[in-house]
Each structure stands twice: as structure tokens, then as C-alpha cells.
Amino acid sequence: MTTVRAEQDTVAWTVEEGIAWVSLNRPEKRNCMSPALNRQMMRVLDELEFRDDVGVLVLGGEGSAWSAGMDLKEYFRETEARGLGAVRQAQRESYGWWRRLRWYQKPTIAMVNGWCFGGAYGPLFGCDLAFAAEEAQFGLSEINWGILPGGGASKIAVELLSFRNAMYHAMMGENIDGRKAAEWGLVNEALPLAELKKRVTEVACVLMEKNPIALKATKDAVRRVREMTFDNAEDYLVRAQEAANSFDNDGRKEGIRQFIDEKRYKPGLGAYDK
């Protein structure tokens, strides 16, 4: 049976105790990304990015999939039938929210509960951290239906995997499970599906104890320096820290004070009291 889901229902979200739980919500289509879903996700990211009650954003998937990649019918076939302008618009809408995630104000965690294919590597890489169910399946399945891994997927494969694993993954069209994805560096950790949300909540709670300005500066720094020479990175990091100081000079002074003067905590063992 074909379900017609309203655009605003293609993404589900709720905010609970500082965590924005956002889900791709087309379980009947294994959360594949249609133009409607891509547009709605951008609206949801807009809504949540600067809210004071959001400390961390978690991106999950409803049902058995995280995301079965691009919607081959609505994103490819139907869009191509409408011509190049429609294709470019659909690309802007999908690449747009993945890019938005890469530079999101709040820390982001991918919680990969199930299938994760092709285009889904865009938001997977967009999230700062990624935790997967051992049962999840990851694949660059593009080659199985006759295209190359586009939309950044080839780039993401070489960013996250060794050259040999990236090449094998892209050329063979075989899936790997969550455990192998963790071993290969696609995700931080894999654990049984039943324990996934608990672990992600734990990580989100640790992140929420940190200075949020320092966290945003840190996540941007880790992404930026990948593409820089050592000297450029050194210079960028000096300037990025000085820029962060201008937003939040008191934070780090307080961090030093609680350690050196009050001996209340040890930075080597945890965060200062904000």
C-alpha cells in the first residue's frame, strides 16, 4: 500500500532534557530521502539550532532503517523527469541540510539504528559523532544500481576509511554491519540495538556539561584542520580560540579558577561547573 505522508510529517522531533531527538520519519519507505523530507529537515534544523533548551541534537530513524539513502523514485526519477533545474534544486535541498549539520551550532550525534545506504552517508558524516546498532547495515549500494557514490559519498568514504576499505566498500556494493563500521571508523562505537539510545543519551549528557562555545569551536576546528597544512592549522587554531574568547572569555577563566584557586575539579578528569 502506498502511504502519502504530508511533508511536515517526514521528520519527527521532540526536545527532552536538553536533547533534541530528531528522526527521519518515513519508516514505510525505510526513511529514504525525498525532496519533501530534505526540505522539512532543513526547517527542523532551523527551528532547533539556537534554542536555549537544546544542548545536543541526535539524528535517528523511525522503524527498521536509519536511512535507505536517496529516494530513487522521488529524488532521482521524478526529479529528472522535470529537467535540470529540478535536479539542481533537489541537490541543493539535500546537500544543504547535510552541510548545515556539518557546521551546526550544537553538537550532533548520529544514532544509526538500522539500514544506512548511499546518500545517508551525507548526514552520517554531517553529525559530529556516530553510534550504531551492531545490527545496522551500512552500504555504498550505488554501484548495485549503476551509479557512482555521489552527493559527497565517495569523499566521505575516503575521509573516514582507509584507502583500501573505501575502494572495496565503493566498488563491491557489499554491506557491513555496525561492528565492522566501528572497526573501519565509519562510526565511533557499535552496541546492541537495545542499548543504543542509553549510550547515546550518556554521551549527550557528557557533552552538555561542557562549555558550549568551546564545543562549537572544537568541532569546527577538527573539521577545518583536516584540510590545512600544519602551519595553517596552527594559525587557524590561535585565531579560532581568540574569537571564542571574545564570545566567552569568562568561561575559560572560570575553568582555570575552579582548578587552580578552588581545587574543585581536575580538568584531566572532567568538566568545570558552568
Query: Which residue among 10, 13, 22, 29 contacts ligand ACO (CB under 6 A)?
Result: 29
Asked if residue 71 binds ligand ACO (CB under 6 A), the reply is yes
105 versus 175: smaller Cβ distance to ligand ACO: 175
Query: Which residue among 30, 106, 169, 216 contacts ligand ACO (CB under 6 A)?
Result: 30
Asked if residue 229 binds ligand ACO (CB under 6 A), the reply is no
68 versus 109: smaller Cβ distance to ligand ACO: 68
* DSSP for 32-97, written as a single string: -B-HHHHHHHHHHHHHHHT-TT-SEEEEEESTTEEE-SB-IIIIIIHHHHT-HHHHHHHHHHHHHH
120 versus 130: smaller Cβ distance to ligand ACO: 120
Task: Select from 69-77, 84-92, 218-226, 264-272 the region that touches ligand ACO (CB under 6 A).
Answer: 69-77
CA–CA separation, 214 and 245 (whole Å): 9
Asked if residue 72 binds ligand ACO (CB under 6 A), the reply is yes
Task: Tell me the β-bridge partners of 117.
Answer: 139
146 versus 268: smaller Cβ distance to ligand ACO: 146
CA–CA separation, 71 and 37 (whole Å): 10
Give the count of residues interacting with ligand ACO (CB under 6 A): 19
Task: Select from 111-119, 184-192, 231-239, 249-257 the region that touches ligand ACO (CB under 6 A).
Answer: 111-119
CA–CA separation, 90 and 87 (whole Å): 5
* Residue reference for cell 552538555: 208
Asked if residue 70 binds ligand ACO (CB under 6 A), the reply is yes
Asked if residue 180 binds ligand ACO (CB under 6 A), the reply is no
- Residue 174 near residue 116 (C-beta atoms within 8 A): no
193 versus 221: smaller Cβ distance to ligand ACO: 193
CA–CA separation, 223 and 88 (whole Å): 26
Task: Tell me the β-bridge partners of 58.
Answer: 21, 109
26 versus 219: smaller Cβ distance to ligand ACO: 26
Asked if residue 10 binds ligand ACO (CB under 6 A), the reply is no
Asked if residue 25 binds ligand ACO (CB under 6 A), the reply is no
CB contact set of 55 (below 8 Å; sequence gap of 6+):
18, 19, 106, 107, 204, 207, 208, 212
Asked if residue 68 binds ligand ACO (CB under 6 A), the reply is yes
CA–CA separation, 158 and 189 (whole Å): 19
Cell of 146: 549503476
Q: List the interface residues with ligand ACO, window 123-142 (CB under 6 A).
A: 141-142
CA–CA separation, 271 and 55 (whole Å): 15
128 versus 142: smaller Cβ distance to ligand ACO: 142
Asked if residue 66 binds ligand ACO (CB under 6 A), the reply is no
Q: Which residues bind ligand ACO (CB under 6 A)?
A: 2, 29-30, 32, 64-65, 68-73, 115, 117-119, 141-142, 151
